[in-house]
Amino acid sequence: MTRNRLRSTPVPGVRDAYTGIDFNLGFHVRAYHLDLSYRVGPNRLDGTATLRLDNWEPLTAMTLDLAPSLRVQRITAQGSAGVEVRVSRFRQSGGKLRITFAQEIPVDSEFTLVIRYAGTPRPIRTPWGTLGWEELENGALVASQPNGAPSWFPCDDTPDEKALYEIIVTTDNPYVVAVNGTLLSKKTAGSRTTWRYQVGNPMATYLATVQIGDYVPLLLSEEGAAVPVRAWVPPALRDSAREEFADQARMLELYTGLFGPYPFNSYSVVVTEDDLEIPLEAQGLSIFGANHIRGDHAWERLIAHELSHQWFGNSLGLAQWNDIWLNEGFACYAEWLWFEHSTGRHAADSAREHYAEIAAQPQTILLADPGPRDMFDDRVYKRGALTVHALRVLLGDDAFFRMVRRYVATGRHSVVEPIDLKREVLAEARAVGVPEDEVKNLWRAWLHQLELPPFPEPRR
């Protein structure tokens, strides 16, 4: 039988208000098995995607997201528990793969779709730039937030629909393939190698990634560490990367103490030979450009930021994009927490500095719903971090970090909404004698008003 949706509130309408893309309604994808063959030189992708689904509505037809640069060649279906599922026709239009079944699939059925497709993968043009599969000078990378996943596989591309994954990539030697999850096997046959990875925890489509390049491995943690920390880097950048990421394992240790256990089996960073405007997070993995690797720790805050997303954004996923401050606010605050630990500069000092910067800008950001144009605006990130700091000031350090660890544990490998955080804040406030009205006033002022509230000061 089907499980409930990961989110606690119903889907708002039939279209994602942020991406402008229609939801794919009536079913859940529980697991993706992606068997990909990629030729680096011609940028050619041939794929077979096997999707395991169940449906919460009777289905005579359904849609998936898939970019028009990839053309579906064949779809077969298989039902289970005596349910016959047969595809009568399919077509692609408007970034959708539209599938019609020969007869209605009864509610709460389990079935499998096997989709063969091929083409030249290209990034998808979006209001936030081009997203998804990107051909590099010497390889490829995938960076999909918020809606670039259809550039390389057919999927239900919405953040609250997490699934399990097995990703198999066959490509030319001597390229390395780095993917989310655990490397199960690596087999070379002639001039090509097949890499098989398994993602054992639910993952949002935008966090699925494939990184292909001429990389060498670099161990960033101690041998035998409970959570291995590794890097894949171009050979020429090995020494600079070792210095740049020298504190990566210590950051993980700090965040584990503050937020709770690291949510995945390992953590990796990939450094591309190309420059990137900003680093990018994926589940269990972060991507940096060659321009971020100078060996002088100039990008230390971003190294801390991307790691913290493994808790805030990857394990604790978003239900919908208007809540992006839950990801970015905590990740920015984690930067300040790292420097509080490593340099002694209290997070309050960082908060005050960024408060002054925001105060000097137009007060046009509603944190609870910034809108698609401003969802990646730095004011969302920093006002989100200031909101987290205000909660710390209100509760006090012990209660605040106790609340954060409970919030992280409760939402582990699921999705969260602001109401989930507020519930934990209110519970901790009652435990330490903070009036409920103070929590509600803080929440309203920071999330639901345009005007910047006064800087949060400790009680005297």
For the annotated catalytic residues, the residue numbers are: 306, 381
- Nearest to residue 236, comparing CAs of 218, 222, 248, 211? 218
Burial (Cβ within 10 Å: 0-12, 13-18, ≥19) of residue 451: exposed
Q: Residues within the annotated binding site for Zn(2+)?
A: 305, 309, 328
CA distance 145 to 153: 15
Tell whether the torsion through CA atoms of 179, 183, 185 and 190 is positive or negative. Answer: positive
The number of angstroms, rounded, from the C-alpha of 338 to the middle of its chain's C-alpha atoms is 21
Burial (Cβ within 10 Å: 0-12, 13-18, ≥19) of residue 109: buried
SS3 content of the chain, % helix, strand, coil (to 5): 30, 35, 35
Give the Å distances, CA to CA, from 263 to 152, 259, 309, 412.
26, 10, 11, 7
Strand, helix or coil at 55? strand
Q: Which two tokens stand for residue 278?
A: 């900003």
- Asked whether the beta carbons of 238 and 269 are under 8 A apart, the reply is no
DSSP code for 123: P
- Peptide bond preceding 150 in cis form (omega within 30 of 0): no
DSSP code for 236: G
CA distance 158 to 319: 9
